[in-house]
Amino acid sequence: MDKYGLIGYPLIHSFSKNYFNEKFVNEGIDAEYINFEIPTIDSLPEILASNPELKGLNVTIPYKEKVISFLDSVSPEARAIGAVNVIKIEHKGSDIILKGYNSDVIGFTQSIEPLLERFHKKALILGTGGASKAINFGLRALGLETVYVSRYERPNTIQYDNITPDTVKEYNVIVNCTPCGMYPHFNECPNLPYEALDSKNILYDLIYNPDTTMFMRKGIEHGATVKNGLEMLLLQAFAGWKFWNQSNNDTNI
């Protein structure tokens, strides 16, 4: 039986595990999807050695960037983003070959593009982690200017305390790439001047549990268009499955 899995820490809940195991049952695929909760990325070689049936892995927080040093090759897109969330595992004799990809950008751009209007020209990206880098890559590919928002003083970022009502009117697409508002902390939301939002704003939250975060609810109250991360996850899963199953000649890395 083939195995696929997810590495990250902590793995409180896993969309991927439920999605893929249901897919395998429904489509008669002889495979299993397993969560590998590892407190350090240095445990990856041990997982590979003890699970020779592994054909692919998804990567989540906090290892999307750290995992790159373990890979034999990385797709140009993932290299440009600086983060990997899909690993294809190939066995050549006794050697294990690891190829890295990024499906975050595919899922996100396909999910947000139908919401964009001509007046959506600039975006705020809340957070600076691995997911935010894919979001930045995707938004720029769609023609938007972007700025990262951080709690800390970092190069090329603005801080939450410096975001004014004029900021959210100019940067009228706002994407939450932080865990703020994720279950069980559903009464929390990023610190923004929500009262300045209007119908020209898009608030996109990568979180999907709860379905409607406080960030999204505050957007709805002021007429903004809102969307959670569930469709992005589905689209990511489609792309990840393609990466795992494409022939070696189609990998482009």
Residue positions annotated with a catalytic role: 64
CB atoms near residue 69 (< 10 Å): 7
Closest CA to 109 of 231, 251, 200, 249: 231
CB 176 within 8 A of CB 108: no
Backbone angles phi, psi at 192, to 5 degrees: -135, 160
**C-alpha–C-alpha distance, residues 210 and 94, integer Å:** 44
181 in the Ramachandran plot: left (φ > 0), alpha (ψ -120 to 50) or beta? left
CB atoms near residue 51 (< 10 Å): 15
CB 118 within 8 A of CB 142: no
**C-alpha–C-alpha distance, residues 83 and 93, integer Å:** 28
